[in-house]
A and B are shown apart, each in its own frame.
Chain A
């Protein structure tokens, strides 16, 4: 397992370096104008800073949204596991409806539509968090349901035999085992969320994509600026992947069963 990861990481590193090299080398030809993001020049440096500034909101937005979506996803998953048909229907309806709405549409609706319907004011950041979390929660719910369903029935029976309540059974017996199994899928969702946060740029959130768009408008250098944007997401997501894998490995080492 470990060996496999190392090989994949090494290959990935090679790919990243290769891509960066190709982009830099192509800058030698006349059609490229790397000066807009050249860190040795004053404007280039300030442009670069301007772009990288977006990282803060991209990360804050994604992490906040995923925290909410994990909690909501779990709360939606639990009725889906009930023997009660009505509770299961609640889960099904929620998942089917939310999953059917494109994220971009949900972002627009939450930002422009929700304030009118609910008579509230909502800023760009919370509209983004709400839309991303809502959309992702349906997927999280399905992941949790699958994870919990994979736990042997005997674990519930043993919990009952030592008089644990439903909440204690979930908290101490079922969820700790289920979460270990679904960790790779949860990691996937985090990566997915980081990428989807780029859509929140359409309502004016000052994250990576929005920053790049704004710079393109003033500098007229889409090729170079969007290339930097690609590298920014790539670097961010490779870091997150490495973190998730490190966490998985730690849990596996912890498992010993």
Chain B
């Protein structure tokens, strides 16, 4: 029996995924331990979003095994409830519910899926809104907030389900430059609190500070996987070197 800290909470083993004839993932294997922070990068179309979308079951994988939080995600079974799998997801486009207030966005999941009372859900929501530092926006509608604020609400909404694992799918790509930092700060704070995270992002400064493990994907494959120091200083593969040169230039 492995010690709890290093026992993998996510096991991705030989996973392949097709969109029609296009193979988005080619025999991808990755293990994430409890509390580990993994940053996935790579050119667009490399399969990095598909990988984490398979982990939270927004996509079905065709072959291989994915075990999340002890639950195997199987094609044949009904979709596993993402709360019972303990996975939270943050999207590039935030995907807040535009017809609900910030507070209602946060309480909907806890009230319906976790059967919390309205008062309890409200307390929980306010606690997480304070954690992402926008409790004063609780009564507003998403449209009234800036992009950075919306993304922080989306993070708080995921946290209200009290997940053990947080997945981020390019959370800052849709943001204006001046708003990126406020979101990265919230994510860094989350990382330092011990949350298990997989982030798909091109924010290399954030990756260097926060990641325990860097993953570089290209063409549906994991090309390089290393600790940040080694990953940034001495990447082994040529593809990874080229990619890093391109995005670290500016």
A: residues with CB less than 8 A from B are 152, 154-155, 157-158, 160-165, 168, 172-173, 176-177, 180, 255-257
A152 proximity list for chain B (CB < 8 A): 95
A154 proximity list for chain B (CB < 8 A): 91, 93, 95
CA distance A173 to B160 in the complex (A): 17
B35 proximity list for chain A (CB < 8 A): none
B108 proximity list for chain A (CB < 8 A): 162, 164, 172-173
Interface pairs (18), CB distance under 8 Å? A155-B95, A157-B58, A157-B89, A157-B95, A160-B56, A160-B57, A160-B58, A161-B87, A162-B82, A162-B113, A162-B158, A163-B83, A163-B113, A163-B161, A173-B108, A177-B98, A256-B141, A257-B98
Does A176 lie within 8 Å of B99, measured CB to CB? yes
Nearest residue, chain A, Cβ from B87: A161
Known contacts A256-B141, A256-B143; decide if A162 and B109 are in contact (CB<8 Å).
Answer: yes
Identify which of residues 74-90 in chain B touch chain A, using a CB-to-CB cut-off of 8 Å: 79, 81-84, 87-89
Does B99 lie within 8 Å of A177, measured CB to CB? yes
Nearest residue, chain A, Cβ from B160: A162
B91 proximity list for chain A (CB < 8 A): 154, 157-158, 161
A177 proximity list for chain B (CB < 8 A): 98-99
A164 proximity list for chain B (CB < 8 A): 108-109, 112-113
Known contacts A172-B108, A256-B143; decide if A161 and B99 are in contact (CB<8 Å).
Answer: no
Does B81 lie within 8 Å of A163, measured CB to CB? yes
Name the residue in B82, B99, B154, B160 with the highest tally of chain A Cβ atoms < 10 Å from its Cβ. B99
Does A162 lie within 8 Å of B157, measured CB to CB? yes
Smallest CB-CB A-B distances: 3 pairs:
A162-B109, A163-B113, A158-B95
Contact among B99, B112, B154 with A257 in the assembled complex (CB-CB below 8 Å): B99
CA distance A36 to B84 in the complex (A): 75
Nearest residue, chain A, Cβ from B90: A161
Shortest distance between the CB of A102 and any CB in chain B (Å) = 38
Known contacts A163-B109, A164-B109, A256-B141; decide if A158 and B96 are in contact (CB<8 Å).
Answer: yes
Question: Is B142 engaged at the interface, CB distance under 8 Å to the other chain?
Answer: yes
CA distance A252 to B131 in the complex (A): 32
Question: Is B144 engaged at the interface, CB distance under 8 Å to the other chain?
Answer: yes
Known contacts A158-B96, A168-B112, A180-B99; decide if A257 and B82 are in contact (CB<8 Å).
Answer: no
Shortest distance between the CB of A253 and any CB in chain B (Å) = 13
Shortest distance between the CB of B83 and any CB in chain A (Å) = 4
Question: Is B97 engaged at the interface, CB distance under 8 Å to the other chain?
Answer: yes
Shortest distance between the CB of B121 and any CB in chain A (Å) = 12
CA distance A158 to B144 in the complex (A): 19
| 9 more A-B residue pairs beyond the given contacts A164-B113, A172-B97, A257-B144, with a C-beta to C-beta distance below 8 A | A154-B95, A158-B91, A162-B108, A162-B157, A162-B161, A165-B112, A165-B113, A172-B112, A177-B99
